Amino acid sequence: MNPTGTTLVIGATGTTGGRTAARLTAAGHRVRAAGRRATPLPGADPVRFDWYDATTFGDALDGVDRAYLVPPIGDPDPAAVMMPFLREARAAGVRRAVLLSSSAIPEGGPAVGAVHRALPGLFEQWAVLRPSWFMQNFTGTHAHADSIRTEGLIRTAAGTGRVGFVDAEDIAAVAVRALTDDRAPNADLILTGPEALSHDDIAAIVGRVTGRPVVHHPLAYEDMRDRLAAVIPPEFAAMLAAMDRAIAEGAEDRTTDTVERLTGRPPSPFRVVAERELRAGPVPRG
Ligand SMILES: NC(=O)c1ccc[n+]([C@@H]2O[C@H](COP(=O)([O-])OP(=O)(O)OC[C@H]3O[C@@H](n4cnc5c(N)ncnc54)[C@H](OP(=O)(O)O)[C@@H]3O)[C@@H](O)[C@H]2O)c1
């Protein structure tokens, strides 16, 4: 891997892409920062890129040898737009691809699972990041963070199920290793924080850190699905509510050593992230 190559960061204005781009530029790597508008980021070369507009692919890929891929958000079939882009990327000289997926989506599973399955056949050097739920869902611009601020409430269909919530900074730190280490992981990596917490635990920690009481309001799967369907497409609403139900059944009650193994330091606990991001007020995305 040429250490002076350029990394295309898709989703560079978002939660993991923004942090990944910032860490890459701080370490002296060249970054092409992609978003639907060419948004200036310190030290990066901004480019307009839209998954749904193939005419934007060429400029984004010009001179790039590796890429961080945040899939199109909320698309039930991201492979339809991602596969043509990935073939073009390989032809343009991209040698390493790091895909953001989710702990809840296995290789070959729904949505981005199909892209995960195809990645090793397209790129000799690859990684699929499969983070658990982001801690930033409670500190940033996610619906949970909004309802915490406006109602002192977190609504889920996750019951008392526990989740290995992970800090987006730790995801970005792993992304940088996967993009820049001499040897690519060539594996999927399940990323968690240091402990599995229930949403009641999260509510209690946010309440202690902010000094304002927060409660977890558990909903039935159907109620969660219908609430979400008022604001997002019904198919996507059903998928998100089903992920909560899987949490209730214990699917996310685990921790892994991946962050420490790849970065050399343990992942941050939620209390530390809440103190960092909520004491100073909510942080903007990215
Ligand atoms: N939240 C969680 O707990 C969690 C857990 C596991 C996995 N995930 C996965 O994380 C992913 C989201 O990643 P994230 O949180 O880093 O991003 P994010 O904060 O949701 O931001 C989305 C990014 O994608 C860009 N984007 C949106 N539509 C685009 C389009 N049509 N073409 C090109 N870029 C587009 C946005 O940029 P512009 O708006 O500037 O175009 C933005 O930079 C999802 O796939 C989700 O499944 C989330």
Sheet strands side by side (includes 96-100): 45-48, 30-35, 6-10, 64-69, 96-100, 125-131, 187-191
- Report which protein residue has its CA nearest ligand 1's atom 14: 15
Residues 39, 82: Cα–Cα separation, whole Å: 22
pLDDT at residue 2, rounded to an integer = 44
Which H, E and C letters describe 212-276, residue by residue?
CCCEEEECCHHHHHHHHHCCCCHHHHHHHHHHHHHHHCCCCCCCCCHHHHHHCCCCCCHHHHHHH
38, burial (CB in 10 Å: exposed 0-12, middle 13-18, buried 19+) = middle
pLDDT at residue 40, rounded to an integer = 87
Residues 17, 23: Cα–Cα separation, whole Å: 10
pLDDT at residue 103, rounded to an integer = 97
pLDDT at residue 281, rounded to an integer = 56
Which residues of the chain fall short of a pLDDT of 50? Answer: 1-2, 285-286
Per the CB < 8 A criterion, the answer to whether 38 and 47 are in contact is yes
Which residues are bridge partners to 188 per DSSP?
Answer: 128
Q: How far is the CA of 52 from the centre of ligand 1 (A)?
A: 14
C-beta of 20 in contact with ligand 1 (< 6 A): no
- The torsion defined by the Cα of 27, 73, 101 and 30, in degrees rounded to 10, comes to -20
| Residue labelled with tokens 């050097």 | 125
- Report which protein residue has its CA nearest ligand 1's atom 18: 14
- State which amino acid sits at residue 12: A
In what helix (H) or strand (E) does residue 44 lie, and over which residues does it extend?
A: none
| Residue labelled with tokens 């927060």 | 214
C-beta of 78 in contact with ligand 1 (< 6 A): no
Q: How far is the CA of 142 from the centre of ligand 1 (A)?
A: 11
| Residue labelled with tokens 């920690």 | 205
Q: Could you report how far apart the first and last alpha carbons of the chain are, in Å?
A: 27
Q: How far is the CA of 211 from the centre of ligand 1 (A)?
A: 30
pLDDT at residue 286, rounded to an integer = 43
C-beta of 159 in contact with ligand 1 (< 6 A): no
Q: What is the pTM of this model?
A: 0.96
pLDDT per position as a tens digit, 132-162: 999 999 999 999 999 999 999 999 999 999 9
Closest atom, ligand 1, to C-alpha of 140: 19
pLDDT at residue 211, rounded to an integer = 96
